[in-house]
Structure 1
C-alpha cells in the first residue's frame, strides 16, 4: 500500500470545510435560514453534520497517512505533538478576544493581538524539527492553562473546550487505536464506547437529581463540565459545553469508525467492491442511528451514540458516492473548488476564527444611523449587501457566500503554489 491522496476524500473534506465557513459567517445571526443553524437540542440539521463529518474524515485520513502501521517512540511523539498543536490552536481562538497588552486599547490593542496571532499560528503550523514542534506545543499549552487559572480578570472566563480541541483529542486516541490494535479490536472498542456512553448518560443521574435526564444543563455530562471546567465553558450557557468532557467519549467512536472506513478504502479489494461495501455500511449505520434515536435521541450537543451512528452513516454514504464518481468513474468535472478547500483545512480554521474577531474591534459609522457606531463586520453587511435584497435571510446567506468567494481565491493561490499549512 502506498501513501496516496484519495481525491474523493479531499473533495469531501472541502465540502465540509466550505459548509462550515458558510455556517460560521452569516451577515447577521438574527436572519439565518434554519438549515444553516444548529438544532435547538434534539435532531440534526445540515449544520450539525459539519463537525462529525470532519472527525470522520480525519479518522479515514489516518489510515492513508500511516499505511504501514509502523509504531515507535518517534511515531508516538509525532501523534502527541500534532494532537497538542490542534488543541492549542483551538484554545487560542478563545483567547484572542481577551488578550490584554500593557493597558493598550483600540487599534494598538488590535495590532498587538494580530501580531500575537501570527506568532502563535507560525509556532503551531510552522515546519520545524520534531523536537522544536513538541517544545513549542507543550510550552504554549501550559501558558494557556496558567493564564486561564491565574486569577487574572481578563482570562478567568476564557473558554477551554472547542471544536479543534475535540478533534485533537480524538486524533490522538484514534491514531493509537489504528497503530496498536486490529480492526476487530477497533470495532469492539467503538461499540464499547457508544454503549458505555449510552449507559452513563441514561442510567447515572447527575448529583442533585433523583432521575437521569438528557436536558440542557441538568444531565451527567453538564455536571462533569461544571466540576472540571467551571468558569471556562461555552459563553452563552456557562452551565454546559457542547464540546465538553464526556462527549469526547462518543466522538472518539466517530473517529474510530472513520479509521475503519479508511482501512477499507486502503485495502487490496477492488475499487468497485470498496464502493459497494462503503455504501451498505453507510445505509446500515443510518438505520441503526435512527433506531437508537428512539431511546437515545440524536443530539449534536451531547454527541449521543445515535448521533454518532447516524452521522457516520451519512458520511460513509456520501463518501461512497464521491468515491465511485471520482476515483472509479474518473468523473472530475467541477471538483476543483472543493479540492482546493479540502487540502488546506487548518489555515481556514485558523484565519476564519481570527478575522471576524478582529473586525469586531474596528468601529465605523452606522449607514442607517450615522450618529451610532457599528463594527466593521456589521458595516460590510449593512452597507455592502443588505440593501440589495428584500429577504434578510437571503442577504445574510449572500454575505457568507461572498466571504467564501474571497477564501476560494486565496486557497486557489495556495493550491497553485503548493502551499499547504499543517499542524
Structure 2
C-alpha cells in the first residue's frame, strides 16, 4: 500500500470514539493488542525461507522463550479478556446463561472446524490430518473460559487458575509415564506426549515430529489458565468504581509480580512453550497484562492515536479471519506448480523478487513483511467497507 493510502486508513480509524468515554463495553486497546498480535503471528508464520530466519523470529528449541514464543499466549490472554467483555451482560442474568453457552459452544465448534479445514487443505487426507493445532487450542480455551466466566465467581476463577498450574506441574514432574518410566520433560517421553499418542495416534499429530504435538491435549489445561488470566484482567479493567490511573497502576504491579514469579518458577519448572509450563503461563501472562495495560492507558484513557493504532485495529477486528485465510493462501501458493521443474509458486515468487536483492536472512524477512503488508491492504479494504467476519 502507498503511504497516502496507509495514512487514509489511519485517519479513518482515528475517528472512532474512545472506549473509556463512549463505549464502556469495548476497548480500543484490546482491538489494537489483538491486531498487533495476529500481525506478528502472520510475520513469523510466513518467512520467505524457513532455513534463514532471524533468531527472535524463531521459537525456542525447547526450554526458553523468544519473542515468537510470546505470540500465542498473548492471543489466548486476549481471548480471556474478550470473554469478560462479550459475556458480561449475560453473566448477570442467569436466565440468559443457556443461550450464552450455546453461542460459546457454536463458536468453539466453528474455530475447531476451521482448524481442521486448515490442516486438511489442500489434499484432504483424513487418515493423517493433524487434529491438535492453534485454532483447536483456541477453541478449547474459549469453550472452557466462556463456561467458567458464566458459572464461576472471580474468587473461584483464581482458585481454579492456581489448581490448573499446580496440578499440571504435578502431572508432568511426578506422574510416571506409561512405557517410559519416571516423569520427565523431554519432547517425546513426557506425559503429555504419551497422552497425545494414546488419544490421537501418531498419524494425527504435528507432522514435524509425529511423536508429540506443541498444541497437545494435556497442555490445554495450563493454556486455559492463560485464558483465565485474561478474564481476570478484563474483569478488573471493568471496575468503574476505580479511577483508570488506579486500575493501571495496580495491574502493572500484578503484571510485574507474575513475571517475577514465572522467572523464579523457571528454576524448577522451566519456561517452555511446547509444554506450556506453569512458569511459561505466569511469565507470558505478566508480559501480556503489562502490554494490554500500557495500550489501555495510551488508547482508552489518554486517547492517543498513531499509525500503530490504525494498523492494529485493521488487523484486530478480523483477526481469526486473516489468520485462517493467510494459512490457506500460503498452502495454495505451495500447491500450485510453475515452470517445467514443477517449482511451487511461492518459491518461484520468492526466488524472483527477493533472493536476488537481499542476503538470505533479509530476503526471508522481506518476504514475511510483504506478506503482512498485503494482508493489511486486504483487511483495510474490508474495514472501509464494514466487512467484519465474526467467527
Structure 2 length-normalised TM: 0.91
Structure 2, unmatched stretches of 5+, are 1-19
- C-alpha contact (below 8 Å) 1:14/1:343 kept by paired residues: yes
Residue equivalent to 1:380: 349
Output one character per residue of 1:276-314: Cα deviation in whole Å (capped at 9) or x when no partner.
Answer: 112111111000100111000000001011110000000
1:48 aligns with 2:69: yes
Residue equivalent to 2:146: 175
Distance 1:418 1:279 in 2: 35
1:77 aligns with 2:102: yes
Runs of 4+, deviation exceeding 6 Å: none
Distance 1:323 1:281 in 2: 15
1:275 aligns with 2:248: yes
Residue equivalent to 1:86: 111
Equivalent positions of 1:322-337 (< 5 A) are 322-334=295-307, 335-337=309-311
Residue equivalent to 2:211: 239
Counting matched residue pairs gives: 363
1:363 aligns with 2:337: yes
- C-alpha contact (below 8 Å) 1:3/1:67 kept by paired residues: no
Distance 2:28 2:362 in 1: 32
- C-alpha contact (below 8 Å) 2:87/2:100 kept by paired residues: no
Equivalent positions of 1:21-420 (< 5 A) are 21-68=42-89, 69=91, 70=93, 71-99=96-124, 154-230=125-201, 231-268=203-240, 269-334=242-307, 335-365=309-339, 372-389=341-358, 391-420=359-388
Shift of 1:5: 1.9
Shift of 1:347: 1.2
Shift of 1:398: 0.6
Q: SS where residue 156 of structure 1 aligns?
A: helix
- C-alpha contact (below 8 Å) 2:101/2:146 kept by paired residues: no
Shift of 1:3: 5.8
Moved more, 182-191 or 1-10: 1-10
Distance 1:15 1:72 in 2: 32
- C-alpha contact (below 8 Å) 1:3/1:64 kept by paired residues: no
Residue equivalent to 1:151: none
Structure 1, unmatched stretches of 5+, are 100-153, 366-370
Shift of 1:4: 2.5
Shift of 1:372: 3.0
